Amino acid sequence: MDGIAAWPREGMGVIGSSLGGFYATYIANVRDCRAVLLNPAVDPARDLAKYIGEQTSWHDPQERFFFEPRFVDELRALDAGELRHPEKYFAVIAKGDELLDWREMTARYKGCRIKLLEGSDHALTDFELHIEEVFGFLGLT
């Protein structure tokens, strides 16, 4: 949070996709700002706990790294819990997400503005169709 401490709260907004959506939820809840969440991870501590140990990078199988148990603990510590101002969240969720369950995402963001896409995918490859609505929600249009 130190890195964003000086950001002006008035007009501040965050956008995050997947794990970034989890982080954006935390920041928005703490800083009381708007957030746009694109297929957001709901419980990454649970989902990533099974990957503790040596892993390979998806983009380069020759690149190895070690995923430590403390990383899961750090994710647990960042769970935002109940959202203080659900009206400040806009979740774009694809039923076609091949990694995350759209039902879990919509349940997590109940009471928030949700755009539920019938198809699409985890990467929201049709994001350009939704960008104007995202900008409008953040007050950038």
DSSP secondary-structure letter at 119?
S
Contact 84, 35 (CB under 8 A): no
Question: How far is it, in rounded angstroms, from Cα 129 to Cα 110?
Answer: 23
Q: State phi, psi for 81 to the nearest 5 degrees.
A: 65, -150
Domains and CATH numbers, the chain: 2-43+84-137 (3.40.50.1820), 46-78 (no CATH)
Amino acid in position 95: K
- Residues 96-109 pLDDT 10s: 999 999 999 999 99
Closest CA to 13 of 116, 89, 113: 89
What is the pLDDT at residue 10?
A: 78
Residue type at 83?
A: L
Model confidence pLDDT, tens digit, residues 36-87: 999 999 999 999 999 999 999 988 999 999 999 999 999 999 999 999 999 9
- Distant-in-sequence, close-in-space partners of 74: CB < 8 Å, separation ≥ 6: none
pLDDT tens digit string along 110-141?
999 999 999 999 999 999 999 999 999 999 87
Q: Is the pTM of this model over 0.75?
A: yes
